[in-house]
Structure formats: structure tokens, C-alpha cells
Copies of this chain bind each other. A is one copy, B any other.
Amino acid sequence: MPQTDVVPGPSHPTGDRIEADYLLETPGAVEKAAEVMAGEQSSGTFLPVPGETPELKARAAARVERIEVIDTIGEPSLPEAAEPAETGRFTRARVTLSWPLDNIGASLPNLLATIAGNLFELKQVSGLRLLDIRLPRAFAARYRGPQFGIDGTRRLAGVFDRPLIGTIVKPSIGLTAEGTAEIVDTLAAAGIDFVKDDELQSDGPGCPFEARARAVMAVIDRHAQRTGKKAMFAFNITGDLDEMRRRHDLVRDLGGTCVMASINSIGLVGMIELARHSQLPIHAHRNGWGYLSRHPALGWSYGAWQKIWRLAGCDHMHVNGLQNKFSEDDASVIEAARACLTPLSDDAPCLAMPVFSSGQTARQAPETFVRLGSSDLIHAAGGGIMAHPHGPAGGVASMREAWEAAMAGTPLDVHAKTHPALAAALQTFR
């Protein structure tokens, strides 16, 4: 199957129209399916109704802007209840629709209902995936996007000119507040830049949020007073809105520098409200992303999806990692990360810091750097730090050394000759 998700370009101002690109697969004529989509998502209905005048259509109708046929295939991607193919083949095309901004105004929740509403279940589609969106300036005027982004995160973490080296507290769930703080103690002593709660760890009775925040921040403060370096800890504040606000305030009051939320769990309004309240960078965890994206002919591309969440206020966005332990391939990971580093527009770039994680060790640094073309990222390694033969300090050192090498263009094995932590990592993690 050809690659269909692509890195979205900068969203050149679209005047007063909203644009969305789809991968459309249809048993019939592409033009007809595209018109059905446009009708369903604007003034049309299944039966003609008296009020749908030419004036009303001119004001409110969605338009089919472009159609590029890709290919035809013999079987429908979505097996259930599509119409039978008229020609025995299903046609795949890239289709662009547009809507007048005035249909909904600059509202992100209503944008979702317009570009991703009752479309995916149409009988006329045997596959539909949202590839990219372009929005009028009014959206960036209303939603301020990441408050901290790359520069603000670097300032708070005190890390410049290289990636933040990060890790995740493991075991994922089951540690007490004190147990978590012990691990953070080890990691802070190892010189880690960034640590995050696992997304399964929130506010269970075995590890209450407040106790964990206090215990962890006491440890981080102790190390900061000694070394001048305050590790950034992304506390998972996912919960109901009042809980998220209260937990954010506690973290802020304790001198913490980051909060984390599972964005598919809280949803768009939860994120918008959290961003309005937050005085800290928001680390956006994308767990659940698989159900939105894993079938290549259904749902969301990361390129379209991340634009909405960046506008809503996410400072850090998860993108998986190269040679990860999941099903996503490396090209898709790099495209996702590049998307986060691509300005939404010239006047409101809204850049978010991509977070590379899953099966990461020192080994992936050079390819990550070369393929991304940037060191503006958080590189999070779990076992790659904790299971380093010299201990976590060796793990952190190996990651930093790998990035030194990567950014200098020095092969890892050459750099490893004079850097024993890196050498040990290369020997251990194969």
C-alpha cells in the first residue's frame, strides 16, 4: 500500500475557509462520493428540503476543492456494508473539502464535528482518513496554543542545544509515593533532565497524587540545591477538571515545572480548559492513539490531529520512537515529529516539543537526529537508562554522549572509544 499520510505543510492562511484533506476510498465515482461528503457536512440532507435555496448554498455549502486519484484496489479497506463497487474496484483518492468559517466560527470543538463528524460511516466510503487541515487565522487568534513550547521547556529544564534526556517511572503502576520518590532520587542523582509519571499512574489510593507530588518534589529540590539543576517531572494530573486544576496548582506551588495529561482521556474541552488554567508546560500523552489511527484507511493521521491539540495548548506531544516496540514504522514516527516542529502559520507557529519514547536507547540518537534534522525533542528511554550496566547514571551519560556524537556527525562506535558509558550501552542494547 502506498504511503498516504504525509507531513502537513505550514498552514498558509486560508482566508475565510476551513480546508481538510482526506484519503477517500469509494466503491463508486470519486466525484460523487466527495459531493456526498460535502453535502452531508454542510447544507445537504438525504432528501431535498425546501429551505435549501441557492442563496443558502452559496453561504454555507462545503466545496470540493481538489480531487487527486491515487489508485484502485480490489477489496474494500473497511469490509462492512460499503456499497458494492460499481466497477468491481475501489478507487482511492486524495480529496480536499472546504467550509466557510462562518458556518461555525473559530471553535475547535465545532471544527471536529464539521471535519470529522458523520463521514466515516457513509455507505459511499469504503475507507476515509483525515490527512491534514488548514484553518483561517481566527483559530490562532482565539486559541493561544502552547504557552511554553520548545523555548519555555528548555528554559525551565535548563537544557539548551541538545535534546532533553528523559525517562518514565517504572513499574508503570504499583509503586507507592515513597517508592516513586526513591526512583526519582536515583534518576536526579544520575543527572536526568526529564522524568514522567506513567500514564497508568494518577491518583489511586496506593499512590495518592498529593503524596507523590510532595515526595518527588522534595527529592528534586534536594538535588537542585546541590547541583543547580532541577529535573523536570511531568506529573500525571489526568482526571476531572477540578482535580486537574487542583493538582496543577499543587505542582506549581511545590515548584514543579510540568504537568501531564492523557489527552484522549480528557478530550478537547478538558485540554482547552487545562491550558487556560495552566502556568506550566503541558505534556500531552497520546495513549489511545492506536484506536484513532491504526487502520491506514480509517480515522486520523497524526498530521491533522496534532494541529488541533497544539492549538488547544499542548506543549509536548508524544510521537513514539525509532525502532519502537509498537507497530508504527520509523517513517511515520519521523513524520509525526516533523509535524510538531512545523509552524502552524508564520504568525502563530505553536511549535510543540516532540517526545520520542518506547524501546529507546543511545543507539537511536544518530538516526533520530539525521532524520528529524533537529535536536528539539525529549528523548525518553526506560530500560535504556535504568538497565544500563553502569546504573542509571551510566544510562543518562550514554544518552548524552550518543547525542554529542550524533550532533557532531561522529559515528557512535568512534565516540564510544573515549566514552565508556556509551560503549557499555552499545554493548548491552543491541
Contact partner of A123 (CB less than 8 A), chosen from B56, B241, B327, is B327
Among B130, B266, B328, B383, contact of A46 (Cβ-Cβ < 8 Å): B383
Nearest-neighbour CB distance to chain B for A55, whole angstroms, equals 9
Given A291-B299, A326-B118, A239 contacting B107 (CB threshold 8 A): yes
Q: Is the CB of B265 within 8 A of A266?
A: no
Say whether B105 contacts A202, CB under 8 Å. Answer: yes
Determine, out of A73-81, A154-162, A218-226, A346-354, the stretch whose residues face the partner at the interface.
A73-81
Smallest beta-carbon distance A23→chain B, Å: 13
Select A112's contact among B240, B265, B299, B383, beta carbons within 8 Å: B265
A122 CA / B291 CA spacing, docked (Å): 11
Within 8 A of B (CB), among A199-216: 199-200, 202-206
The minimal Cβ–Cβ distance linking A297 to chain B, given in whole angstroms, is: 8
Beyond A45-B170, A110-B238, is A328–B103 a contact (Cβ under 8 Å)? Answer: no
Q: Does A419 contact B (CB under 8 A)?
A: no
Chain A interface residue count, Cβ-Cβ cutoff 8 angstroms = 99
Please tell me if A228 contacts chain B, counting CB pairs below 8 Å. no
Could you give, for residues 144-184 of chain A, a 1 whenever the CB lies within 8 Å of some chain B CB and a 0 otherwise?
00000000000000000000000000111111000100010
A369 touches B (CB below 8 Å): no
State whether the Cβ of A114 lies closer than 8 Å to any Cβ in chain B.
Answer: yes
Residues 105-125 of A contacting B (Cβ, < 8 Å)? 105, 107-110, 112-114, 116-123
A364 on interface, CB distance cutoff 8 Å: no
Contact A290–B51 (Cβ < 8 Å): no
Q: Which of B205, B273, B299, B326 contacts A105 (CB 8 A)?
A: B205
Write the residues of chain A forming the contact surface with B, with a CB cutoff of 8 angstroms: 1, 41-47, 49-52, 56-57, 59-61, 78-82, 102-105, 107-110, 112-114, 116-123, 128, 130, 170-175, 179, 183, 199-200, 202-206, 238-241, 243-244, 262, 264-273, 285, 287-292, 294-296, 298-300, 325-329, 358-359, 382-383, 386-387
| 19 chain-A/chain-B pairs, Cβ below 8 angstroms | A42-B172, A45-B170, A45-B172, A46-B359, A47-B387, A49-B382, A49-B386, A78-B327, A80-B329, A102-B204, A104-B200, A108-B240, A110-B202, A113-B264, A117-B262, A118-B287, A121-B290, A122-B326, A240-B273
